[in-house]
């Protein structure tokens, strides 16, 4: 099995804003050469001048440092929006516009894949099971399918949907997630970007879930055909923590590399990409953030080398 380790730029937001800084940091200080670009770094609806300058710099720095920009991803800032599930039509149309702009920036960055959650219902809509809920759900699915078809026009061949632990944001069980992915791909057809799962190991924490559905390794074994990439974070299994893999966190954390590799080997997948997606409080000491990122990379590199994956 070919297992590759990379990282999301989510950890760099605000701290390392210039492409020259974060590309060098990932390559030289963390020793990684696969990056998933977070749209927390730049709003895809920024001015054309800013987008052109920024994308040109990213591509230049990645080429100079021999770093692969694997894909783009929604990020934390837009995740806070309802997007395709907004209760107002104008809000849903705005969500569609955001994704189209994200596709365009993805293309300008030289990537052929993007992903992330595509929205979440507000409480009132979610609780109105007989009317608004079903209408908004159907509308969101139709919009998603249309976006997947538009994505190919921007050279985007894959959309990595990230299921979250929040029931208002989509399916949270293994079965429902599998059914949803297959439904969207069937309806979208071959002319659309492939809809697959970016599985986050810390997203099986909803307390209403069954034992199997709370088990991240069971998700991998059950949905491996739909999982090309995995987001790595440490968590205590109670909340979506996005902790670093430090010695202290690993003592109480539920994510164990050996267990994850065992599950991957059961699937007999040819290849999977592991992407560290770690988040620190904005007020956290910058030097400590960098140290914990280095510790996390070393932790997974050691685990990979022990399995002869690298």
Q: What is the pLDDT of residue 310?
A: 59
Instruction: Tell me the pLDDT tens digit for each residue of 81-114.
Output: 999 999 999 999 999 999 999 999 999 999 999 9
Task: Domain ranges for the chain, please list them.
Answer: 2-306
List pLDDT tens digits, range 274-283.
999 999 999 9
Cβ neighbors of 197 (< 8 A, separation 6 or more) are 160, 161, 162, 163, 177, 181, 223, 226, 227
pLDDT attached to residue 289: 98
Q: What pLDDT is attached to residue 71?
A: 98
pLDDT surpasses 80 at 129? no
Residue 309 has pLDDT above 80, yes or no: no
Q: Is the pLDDT of residue 200 over 80?
A: yes
- Residue 307 has what pLDDT? 84
% of the chain with per-residue pLDDT over 70: 99
Query: With pLDDT > 90 as the criterion, what percentage of the chain qualifies?
Result: 96
How large is the average pLDDT for residues 233-254? 98
Cα separation, 283 vs 149, in Å, equals 41
pTM: 0.97
Region 225-229: mean pLDDT is: 98
**Beta-strand pair 271-276/2-8:** parallel
* pLDDT above 70: residue 11: yes
pLDDT for the residue 202: 98
CB neighbours of residue 305 within 10 Å: 10
DSSP codes, 138-179:
HHHHHHHHHHHHHHGGGT--EEEE---S-GGGS--SHHHHHH
Distance separating alpha carbons of residues 81 and 94, to the nearest angstrom: 10
The CATH number that domain 2-306 falls under is 3.20.20.150
Look at residue 130 and tell me whether its pLDDT is greater than 80. Answer: no
Rounded CA separation 296/30 (Å): 9
As a whole number, the mean pLDDT across the chain is 97
- Mean pLDDT, rounded, for 125-152: 94
pLDDT 10s digits, 16-43: 999 999 999 999 999 999 999 999 999 9
Q: What is the pLDDT of residues 75-90, one digit of tens each?
A: 999 999 999 999 999 9
């Amino acid at each position: 099995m070919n297992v590759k380790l990379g990282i999301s730029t989510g950890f760099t937001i605000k701290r390392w804003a210039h492409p020259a800084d974060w590309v060098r940091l990932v390559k030289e200080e963390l020793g990684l050469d696969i990056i998933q670009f977070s749209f927390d770094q730049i709003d895809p609806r920024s001015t054309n001048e800013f987008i052109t300058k920024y994308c040109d710099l990213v591509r230049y720095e990645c080429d100079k440092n021999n770093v692969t920009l694997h894909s783009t991803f929604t990020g934390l800032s837009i995740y806070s929006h309802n997007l395709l599930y907004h209760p107002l039509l104008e809000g849903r149309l705005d969500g569609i516009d955001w994704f189209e702009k994200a596709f365009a920036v993805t293309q300008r960055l030289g990537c052929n894949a993007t992903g992330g959650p595509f929205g979440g219902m507000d409480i009132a809509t979610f609780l109105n099971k007989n009317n608004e809920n079903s209408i908004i759900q159907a509308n969101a699915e139709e919009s998603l399918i249309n976006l997947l078809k538009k994505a190919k026009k921007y050279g985007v061949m894959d959309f990595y949907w990230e299921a979250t632990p929040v029931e208002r944001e989509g399916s949270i069980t293994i079965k429902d997630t599998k059914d949803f992915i297959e439904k969207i791909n069937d309806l979208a057809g071959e002319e659309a970007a492939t809809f697959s799962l970016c599985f986050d190991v810390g997203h099986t924490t909803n307390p209403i879930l069954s034992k199997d559905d709370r088990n991240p390794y069971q998700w991998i074994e059950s949905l491996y055909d739909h999982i090309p990439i995995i987001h790595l974070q440490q968590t205590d299994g109670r909340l979506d923590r996005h902790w670093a893999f430090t010695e202290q966190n690993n003592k109480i954390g539920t994510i164990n590399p050996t267990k994850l590799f065992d599950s991957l080997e059961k699937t007999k997948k040819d290849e999977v990409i592991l992407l560290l997606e770690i988040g620190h409080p904005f007020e956290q000491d910058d030097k400590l953030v960098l140290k914990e990122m280095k510790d996390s990379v070393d932790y997974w590199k050691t685990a990979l080398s022990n399995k002869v994956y690298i």
